[in-house]
Structure 1
Amino acid sequence: MGETKKEFYIVDKRILPKSIQMVIAVNDLIQQEKISKYEAIKKVGMSRSTYYKYKDYIKPFFEKSKDSVFNVYLLLKDEPGVLSKVLDLIASTGVNVLTIIQNIPIDGLARATLSLQVNKNTGKNFEEMLNNIRNTNGVKDIRIIGNS
């Protein structure tokens, strides 16, 4: 039999089934309150079998214990200062820019790919930073296309 290829998605937590949200809550309690799995499962009020069924498949978007590199795709209006505004937002968050690849604008739009290094200190503001970039005048699209 062939191996099933793993596929990963970024999904808004609010649309996840209750059982998956409870697994997330258990994992959060274990990390934040430094309690045992048994205590956290009991506190959340879920069955142990459900927790153990899903626990290995759920990881946070950003793990606070280590550095991560995110590859971000941007679609920008071809106007002076748009990329500069984006880089200012990134710098103000303390996220490290490892690489910038910007293509020649076509039809008034420029595409760029950024590799961003996020650590435990900057990770808590990373999602907010992405939303701020998304709402920046001249930014047409922003997507995370990979991370490691």
Structure 2
Amino acid sequence: MKERYYLVREDILPEAIIKTMQVKQLLTTGDVKTVHEAVEQVGLSRSAFYKYKDGIHLINHLERERIVTISIDLVHHAGMLSKVLSLVAGLGGNVLTMHQSIPLQGVANVVISVEISRISEELNEMLEDIKGISGVKRVHMIGQG
């Protein structure tokens, strides 16, 4: 199913959506340290926050963010994932989500979503740098948004 987006005036949004955005802003500005503190402050349940947090963004934030999802097959050796994450961070990428499978036949698949609006080189160069890490078997970009 293709994702669809709508531009909606704040005054017609359900209260839980508005409070979710307030929680995100509190966390972003550092006014609170934890999700627990933020949801208590705005009067929202944690489950509602986690349900809506990835689906609501300020328009000006969406304009700046570029997010890619990358699938990487890594040899199962200590420190492999750390090398990849360090390289991405060193280039200015911000890992938003990460999922690692259990290694099968000595190889684990890792899928990371990376915010790349501040990376110091072209996306293809970053992918090539990841491929160049010893122990990386395959790098494939799944999606870009």
Q: TM-score, normalised by structure 1?
A: 0.53
How far off its partner does 1:112 sit? 0.7
What secondary structure, in the 3-state scheme, does the structure 2 residue paired with 1:111 have? Answer: strand
2-structure distance, mates of 1:107, 1:69: 31
98 and 143 in structure 1: CA distance in 2 versus 1, 3 angstrom threshold: same
Question: For the pair shown, which has the larger CA radius of gyration, 1 or 2?
Answer: 1
Determine if the alignment matches structure 1 residue 135 to structure 2 residue 132.
Answer: yes
Unaligned runs of 5+ in 2: 1-62
What secondary structure, in the 3-state scheme, does the structure 2 residue paired with 1:124 have? Answer: coil
Q: Number of matched residues?
A: 83
Match 1:84 to one of 82, 86, 92: 82
Q: Is the contact made by 2:74 and 2:136 (CA closer than 8 Å) also made in structure 1?
A: yes
What CA RMSD, in Å, does the superposition of the two structures yield over aligned residues? 1.5
Which residue does the alignment assign to 2:142?
Answer: 145
1-structure distance, mates of 2:70, 2:112: 5
Which residue does the alignment assign to 1:126?
Answer: 123
Q: Is the contact made by 2:91 and 2:120 (CA closer than 8 Å) also made in structure 1?
A: no
Query: What's the % identity of the aligned pairs?
Result: 35
Which residue does the alignment assign to 2:69?
Answer: 71
Task: Name the aligned partner's letter for residue 78 of structure 1.
Answer: H
Q: TM-score, normalised by structure 2?
A: 0.54
What does 1:36-75 align with in structure 2 at a 5 Å threshold? 66-75=64-73
